[in-house]
Amino acid sequence: MPIADALANLRLEAQNRLGLWPFGRNCNVDPLLELPNDLQRQRWCFPAKAMLVGVACCQVQARLADVIASMQANASTRSLSGKLDTYFLPLKIFFVLIVIVIGGLLAVWRSKLDEHYQALIPSIERGVIVGAMAMIAWALMDYGYQEVADALFGRWTDGLPIRLSLVVCPWTLLLLFYFLRHLEKYSAIIGQISGAVVAAVYVLRYESVNDWSVLFLGIGASALSIALLVAISFAGVLWIIWPRRSKAASERLSLPAMRRRQSCRFSDILRCGNARRAPTPKTVTSLLNWTFKGPCTT
């Protein structure tokens, strides 16, 4: 079966149209009921590269799925990405679980963060927001892949398919409600309401959202889309790192000035305490006290 030709044809069509979900018809037919009208119509079948009715296309898609499964089971015909995924899949699951747990703990212990790490709250919130956006992009890519798989292998379930990346949606909503505090009151409320509305729109219109995911983040993505995604990712990393480096640089620049002020205070103490005489315990005590105060008055 020409798997590479089917993929090439699928990518070409994905770049020139919005939406592949009509080609992933539901092949899970109840044998005790009549055929749905959708399966009785002719439609382009990507594995066969021909116009077929739904039942015939589902048979071709099932055969393609069996061929891919046999190649995956045989180590000699398994792709390099398939071999690497055996090792990286547990790491990906572990990473997702760790991110969800950390986000939940940050939300639960929000008051403790304000109490002990008030100065670090802006940096933490920036990292949380960038991480949430990255996780949303991952979920969109994952469901874009699901739409491509439905077009190649057929769809065998009704409704929204459940994938691992779906767990980031409630996690992202939780972060929106807990980590928009640095904004003004009304801006935070607008951000939270917008997040809830976007989630509701996706649940109700997930096919349309997945169509855009295929076009910009999936098999239909152009070189411009990939370059834009890389640029956005780079900007997110800079948004996290740059404020920290700027703060560290300002602290390093202020250190010599602090030392000069301490030196001036020491000379003031000697001048006030008569430098021609040997330092007395009272002068040393004054040195320790005046280090944190202004120059003495005469």
179 vs 171, more confident: 171
Yes or no: say if 119 and 136 are a contact pair by the CB < 8 Å rule. Answer: no
The percent of the chain in helix, strand and coil, each rounded to the nearest 5, is 75, 5, 25
Number of domains in the chain: 1
User: Over the stretch 211-224, which tens digit does the pLDDT of each residue have?
Assistant: 888 888 888 888 89
- Average pLDDT in the chain: 75
pLDDT at 297: 43
In this predicted structure, the answer to whether residue 241 has a pLDDT above a threshold of 80 is: yes
Residue 93 lies in a domain: yes
Q: Is residue 160 part of a domain?
A: yes
Residue 204 falls within a domain, yes or no?
yes
Residue 96 pLDDT greater than 60, yes or no: yes
Give counts: helices (H), strands (E), the chain: 10, 2
233 within some domain: no
Residues 169 and 174: their CA atoms lie apart, in Å, by 9
Task: Work out the number of other CB atoms within 10 angstroms of the CB of residue 202.
Answer: 18
Say if CB 269 and CB 283 are below 8 A apart: yes
Strands (E) in the chain, as ranges, are 42-45, 50-53
Spatial distance between the Cα atoms of 23 and 41, rounded to a whole number of angstroms:
12
Using the structure block, give the residue that is written with the tokens 């008030």. 118
> Among 13-17, 45-49, 115-119, 281-285, which is the least confidently predicted range?
281-285
pLDDT at 231 over 90: yes
- Output the pLDDT for position 228: 92
Tens digit of each residue's pLDDT (9 = 90 or more) over 35-50: 888 888 899 999 988 8
Q: Is 240 part of a structural domain of the chain?
A: no
Q: Could you read off the pLDDT of 172-200 as tens digits, one per residue?
A: 776 666 666 555 555 556 666 666 666 66
What percent of the chain clears pLDDT 90, i.e. is strictly above it? 7
Q: Span 90-105, mean pLDDT? A: 81
pLDDT at 158 over 80: no
Please check the confidence at residue 268 and state whether its pLDDT lies above 70. Answer: no
Domain around 213: 3-221
What confidence score (pLDDT) does residue 236 get? 86
Judge whether 172 lies within some domain: yes
- How does residue 277 score in pLDDT terms, banded at 50, 70 and 90? very low
pLDDT at 190: 61
pLDDT at 248 over 60: no
Confidence label for 284 from pLDDT (cuts 50, 70 and 90):
very low
- What is the share, in percent, of the chain residues with pLDDT greater than 70? 70
The 3-class SS string of 258-273 reads HHHHHHHHHHHHHHHC
- Bridge partners (DSSP) of residue 53 are 42
Sign of CA dihedral 231, 234, 239, 245: negative
Residue 293 pLDDT exceeds 50: no
In a domain, 237, yes or no: no
> How many whole angstroms separate alpha carbon 182 and alpha carbon 188?
8
- Rounded to the nearest angstrom, the gap between the alpha carbon of residue 183 and the centroid of all alpha carbons in its chain is 21
Instruction: Provide mean pLDDT across the span 282-292.
Output: 47
Report helix, strand or coil for 44. Answer: strand
In a domain, 234, yes or no: no
Angle CA(153)–CA(158)–CA(163) in degrees, nearest 5? 70
- Pick the range with the lowest mean pLDDT from 5-14, 44-53, 231-240, 288-297: 288-297
- What type of residue sits at position 176? L
